[in-house]
């Protein structure tokens, strides 16, 4: 009985440890590539398109013909007429003028499109899960800033209570500080709820929305980005040459070319070749009759090319024009995104430097000085309260800019279709 209880307890503990996990940034990216349901479906789709390649270049199935020929109606017999025979034949349709090779090339391009679609979603989900981790890291840092601000407010509240006790302070000022502290507690509740939402979204991306996960957020710097990655003009070419969406549209243009080529080939006939063996019975007098062999070739005639083939060719040319316009539109969007992102990266660097080297140090000095003066009654209460609020805003904005910077780095990897697993250092 005791042994059974120990085994049961061990199983429960083991199950709990497997169900509740601590995942760091790198582990989560590895899991999403292997366990995400959408990516699993796309992997199967790639396999399907790969299997279509040999099918597309295969000949149509041959046809087997079994029959009897020229049996007399009035007196059915295989012996009475010289023309009566039993026939077995095989017929094969053979597309000419490279139609099968054109279909094979189209199938290969469709397979490559499936690979690019898979790469696109890999890069997308890696960027998404990195963004969720960044949001959790930022919000965790934001809670620390709130707690630090609460210490300033608590210190101010203690001073104000002491002053009110001796009759030189106002009760309304005590209430104002209490309200500020309550508002910060409210903000913490909201932030914790948002963190829980991000955790659930990560679990969903990992293939199990019910999984309980603890997220390890370490080694990311939210206080300075002025010495981070530098971008040169080659970034534009790297992204344009590797972007999965542009690759998909480029492949579609090649498919459209092959489709036009194939429609042109439909103007030429195909041939069906066949061979048949006809066996004849002996005559009524017992004389042998020679068996016969028939060989034939049948050609289809594109008689209605003006109403069928020509419009089909024109249709594919219009489709190619559509694909070209979509390519140009997507390329324009990506080039604009690259410009905006690199512009904002420099902005975030400059703002971080401004906040770190000037504004926040000045606010800290001003706040310490004002608190010292406030003890002696030489400064107004609201001025100190405003300084605490301002410090909170700038400390928060510094972290927001850092988060946006790291998210932009991740997005640039997405634009390249990069499926590399990044650590925090790779984004700094």
Residues 208-248: tens digit of each pLDDT: 766 655 666 656 777 767 555 555 667 889 999 999 999 99
Is the confidence at residue 355, as pLDDT, over 50? yes
Contacts of 253 (CB under 8 A, 6+ apart): 320, 323, 324, 327
Angle, helix 99-165 to helix 360-375, in steps of 10 degrees: 20
pLDDT, tens digit, 9 for 90 and up, residues 277-336: 999 888 877 788 888 999 999 998 888 888 888 999 999 999 999 999 999 999 999 999
Dihedral in degrees, nearest 10, Cα atoms 96, 99, 104, 110:
-170
pLDDT, tens digit, 9 for 90 and up, residues 66-102: 999 888 887 888 887 878 889 999 999 999 999 999 9
Cα–Cα dist 428/423, whole Å = 9
How far out from the chain centre does Cα 326 lie?
19
| Mean pLDDT score across all residues of the chain | 86
Minimal CA–CA distance to 338: which of 242, 252, 221?
242
Minimal CA–CA distance to 288: which of 145, 96, 95, 79?
79
Quickly tell me which residue has 């040169």 as its tokens: 232
Reading the block at residue 298, the tokens are: 């049948």
Cα–Cα dist 367/294, whole Å = 106
Pairing of strands 20-23, 212-215: parallel
Contacts of 155 (CB under 8 A, 6+ apart): 371
pTM of the model: 0.84
HSE, side-chain direction, 13 A CA sphere, residue 200: 7
Dihedral in degrees, nearest 10, Cα atoms 155, 156, 159, 161:
-110
Query: What kind and span of H or E run contains 88?
Result: strand 85-94
């Amino acid at each position: 009985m005791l042994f059974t209880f120990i085994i049961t307890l061990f199983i429960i503990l083991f199950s709990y440890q497997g169900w509740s996990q601590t995942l760091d940034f790198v582990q989560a990216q590895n899991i999403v590539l292997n366990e995400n349901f959408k990516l699993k479906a796309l992997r199967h789709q790639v396999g399907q398109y790969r299997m279509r390649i040999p099918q597309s270049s295969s000949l149509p199935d041959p046809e087997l013909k079994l029959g009897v020929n020229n049996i007399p109606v009035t007196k059915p017999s295989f012996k009475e007429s010289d023309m009566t025979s039993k026939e077995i034949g095989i017929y094969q349709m053979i597309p000419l003028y490279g139609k099968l090779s054109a279909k094979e090339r189209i199938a290969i391009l469709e397979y490559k499109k499936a690979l690019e679609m898979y790469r696109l979603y890999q890069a997308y989900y890696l960027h998404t899960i990195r963004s969720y981790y960044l949001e959790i890291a930022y919000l965790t840092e934001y809670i620390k800033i709130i707690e630090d601000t609460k210490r300033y407010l608590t210190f101010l509240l203690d001073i104000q209570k002491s002053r009110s006790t001796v009759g030189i302070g106002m009760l309304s000022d005590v209430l104002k500080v209490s309200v500020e502290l309550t508002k910060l507690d409210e903000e913490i509740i909201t932030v914790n709820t948002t963190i829980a939402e991000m955790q659930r979204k990560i679990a969903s991306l990992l293939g199990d929305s019910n999984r309980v996960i603890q997220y390890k957020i370490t080694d990311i710097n939210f206080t300075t980005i002025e010495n981070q990655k530098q971008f040169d003009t080659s970034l534009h070419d790297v992204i344009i040459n590797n972007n999965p969406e542009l690759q998909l549209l480029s492949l579609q243009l090649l498919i459209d070319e092959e489709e036009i080529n194939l429609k042109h080939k439909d103007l030429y006939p195909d041939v069906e070749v066949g061979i048949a063996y006809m066996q004849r019975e002996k005559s009524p007098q017992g004389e042998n009759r020679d068996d016969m062999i028939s060989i034939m070739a049948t050609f289809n005639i594109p008689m209605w090319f003006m109403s069928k083939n020509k419009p089909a060719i024109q249709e594919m040319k219009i489709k190619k024009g559509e694909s070209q316009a979509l390519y140009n539109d997507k390329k324009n969007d990506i080039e604009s995104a690259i410009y905006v992102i690199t512009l904002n990266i420099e902005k975030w660097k400059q703002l971080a430097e401004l906040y770190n080297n000037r504004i926040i140090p000045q606010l800290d000095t001003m706040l310490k000085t004002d608190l010292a003066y406030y003890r002696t009654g030489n400064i107004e209460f609201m001025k100190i309260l405003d300084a605490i609020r301002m410090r909170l805003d700038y400390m928060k904005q510094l972290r927001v800019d850092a988060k946006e910077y790291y998210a932009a780095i991740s997005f640039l990897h997405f634009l390249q279709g990069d499926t590399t697993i990044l650590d925090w250092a790779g984004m700094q």
